[in-house]
Structure 1
Amino acid sequence: MDLVFSDIHADFNGLDVIVKTASSDDFVKKFGSFSRIINLGDLLERGVHPKQVISKLRSLEQNYPLFSVMGNHDEGFLSGKTVSASSIESMDAHKALDENDLSFFKKNSDGTFGNQEFVDAKNGLFCVHGGPLDPKKITPKNADGEAWLYQRNWQRLTDEGFEFFSYHGYHYKASSAFDEASNHVKNHIILCGHQHMEAALVHRQGTIHDIYHTLDTKKEKISGHVLESKTIDIEPASDYLIRLGLGGPAGYYGVGSSMPHFAVIQYNPKKVILFTVNPIE
């Protein structure tokens, strides 16, 4: 089973709650134990504990395979580009990161950092921060200094019926996402974050359906929290686009819930289960 999260945003408490919840005896008894971790990006900015978040992930790496993709805030900080909405306290905490901390983010030969995607063809996963579109196919020749906003970690699922570019990135249609992912993985699950709100779409027999609002929500007390879960049963012949909610409440900026979110992927039978961790009232 895979543990998946996105958009921790330097929120150590959010990450700690996710890991402790998914590792608790009650959770393992109900859902199983995870054997690897997938981080969908945006570990950095907005929150005030980036050093502790990196240290926690390094600790987890000692016991689990950890696969990470770059978020737009990760890239922005590491490349010296201003993204948005980090307080002075957050900026000071990030300035305190040393060379050893930042070595967690692999530097590539072209000067960029980390990976834009993690593809697991065996298990049918195409993991990105924002979207799966090939930047070479959508970036205009005259993009110049705006070219980085077409990268996979800046792409976002459009709320309109068309695709367009803004300074928030390239807004793609679900149909384009499914078309591109099919070039890499047959019967795939696209996993992404970035927009801080859960979503679930299925591509079945040439038609795309938004299934998120058809999912039943279950609530139960686990590990000292009220855990909300939504289960997506994966049909072998269909494709899915599943977007995770905000992992670290410190990343909240007026969009989405401010509770920690995460997901697990079970493989026998194959399911993706979305979780929200709420306090007991």
Structure 2
Amino acid sequence: MDLVFSDIHADIEGLETILEVALSSDFADKYGKVSRIINLGDLMERGTSPRQVLQKMSELSKSYPMISVMGNHDESVMYKKFFSGSSFSSIKEHDMLTSQDTEFFRQNKDGTFGDQFVIDKKDRLFCVHGGPVDPQKITKNGDDPWLYQRTWQRLSEEDFEFFSYSGYHYKAESAFSEGKAHLDNFVILCGHQHMEAAIKQDGDQITNLWTFGYETEKISKYDLKKHEFPIEKNYNYIIRVGLGGPQGYYGGGFARPHFGIIQDDPKKIVLFELE
């Protein structure tokens, strides 16, 4: 079983809460043991415990196979790009990070860090932080090319695609078209927008699977809301995981940790929100 999370945002309490639930014996008895971890990016910024989060991720990588992709906030830290939305305390903690602290973000031969996306052909997963669309296929208008990268792409809430200074907004059709260039009958896993989503493609038909109804259950001391999505053969899916670290919530308000799991036999994705 895969454990999937995104947007921890330097929130060690959020990460440890997710791990406490997903790695508990109660959770394993009902859903199975975690055999792999999938991190969909944005481990950094906004929260105040970046060093602790990176240490925990390094520890986990020694105990579990791991897929990990870069988020736009991770790139902000590693490439020293200014990004608004972090408190003074958060900025201070990130400024104190050393190269040893950030070794979790593997440096590539070309000087970049980590992976923009990871394709798991065996399990037919396209793992990415924002969106899967090849930036070279997007017509640009002289804007910052960084905002077209997969780490910045956002699932459009309109019936058209457009650029804004929060990134390039793509339609589900474009995401599925890109997925088909790499895989058959696949799931695109993403995060970035902090809100859960589930979309299914059946031929030319695209269906929003998300409903506001949910089931509830108790695991150990935690109450969880959950949505289950069977992954049927011959269909394609986009599954967006919600905010993992509540400290990443921008603009005030209330947030709780989110995570997901991928089960086999039958294949199913379950998204959870801790109450």
| CA–CA separation in structure 2 for the residues paired with 1:224 and 1:213 | 26
2:265 corresponds to: 268
Deviation at 1:67, TM superposition (A): 1.2
SS of the residue 2:81 aligns to? coil
| CA–CA separation in structure 1 for the residues paired with 2:260 and 2:49 | 22
Amino acid at match of 1:120: D
Deviation at 1:107, TM superposition (A): 1.7
| CA–CA separation in structure 2 for the residues paired with 1:29 and 1:150 | 42
* Match of residue 165, structure 1, among 144, 163, 166: 163
Q: Report if the CA contact (8 A) 1:139-1:150 is conserved.
A: no
Amino acid at match of 2:256: M
SS of the residue 1:62 aligns to? helix
Which structure 1 residue ranges, 4+ long, deviate > 3 Å from structure 2? 254-257
1:232 corresponds to: 229
| CA–CA separation in structure 2 for the residues paired with 1:256 and 1:110 | 40
SS of the residue 2:63 aligns to? coil
SS of the residue 2:15 aligns to? helix
Q: Report if the CA contact (8 A) 1:197-1:257 is conserved.
A: no
| CA–CA separation in structure 1 for the residues paired with 2:170 and 2:253 | 20
Deviation at 1:110, TM superposition (A): 2.6
* Match of residue 256, structure 2, among 255, 259, 273: 259
| CA–CA separation in structure 2 for the residues paired with 1:256 and 1:19 | 24
| CA–CA separation in structure 2 for the residues paired with 1:22 and 1:104 | 22
Task: Report % sequence identity.
Answer: 55
The answer to whether structure 1 residue 45 and structure 2 residue 26 are counterparts is no
Deviation at 1:61, TM superposition (A): 1.2
| CA–CA separation in structure 1 for the residues paired with 2:63 and 2:195 | 29
| CA–CA separation in structure 1 for the residues paired with 2:145 and 2:10 | 26
1:182 corresponds to: 180
Count of matched residue positions in the alignment of Structure 1 and Structure 2: 275
Amino acid at match of 2:148: Y
Deviation at 1:129, TM superposition (A): 0.2
TM-score by length of 1: 0.95
2:105 corresponds to: 105
Deviation at 1:82, TM superposition (A): 1.4
SS of the residue 1:162 aligns to? coil
Q: Report if the CA contact (8 A) 2:36-2:64 is conserved.
A: yes
Structure 1 spans left out of the alignment, 5+ residues: none
Deviation at 1:139, TM superposition (A): 4.7
| CA–CA separation in structure 2 for the residues paired with 1:250 and 1:192 | 19
Amino acid at match of 1:119: I
1:152 corresponds to: 150
1:202 corresponds to: 200
1:243 corresponds to: 240
Range with greater deviation from structure 2 (47-56 or 73-82): 73-82
Amino acid at match of 1:242: I
Structure 2 spans left out of the alignment, 5+ residues: none
2:114 corresponds to: 114
SS of the residue 2:51 aligns to? helix
Range with greater deviation from structure 2 (3-12 or 247-256): 247-256
List per-residue Cα deviations over 1:40-67 (Å, max 9, x = no partner): 0000000000000011111111110111
Deviation at 1:189, TM superposition (A): 0.3
Q: Report if the CA contact (8 A) 1:252-1:258 is conserved.
A: yes
Deviation at 1:121, TM superposition (A): 1.1
RMSD of the alignment, in Å?
A: 1.4
Q: Report if the CA contact (8 A) 2:3-2:36 is conserved.
A: yes
| CA–CA separation in structure 1 for the residues paired with 2:150 and 2:183 | 17
Amino acid at match of 1:83: F
Q: Report if the CA contact (8 A) 2:57-2:104 is conserved.
A: no
The answer to whether structure 1 residue 62 and structure 2 residue 62 are counterparts is yes
Rate the CA distance shift 1:274–1:170 in 2: closer, same or farther, 3 A.
same
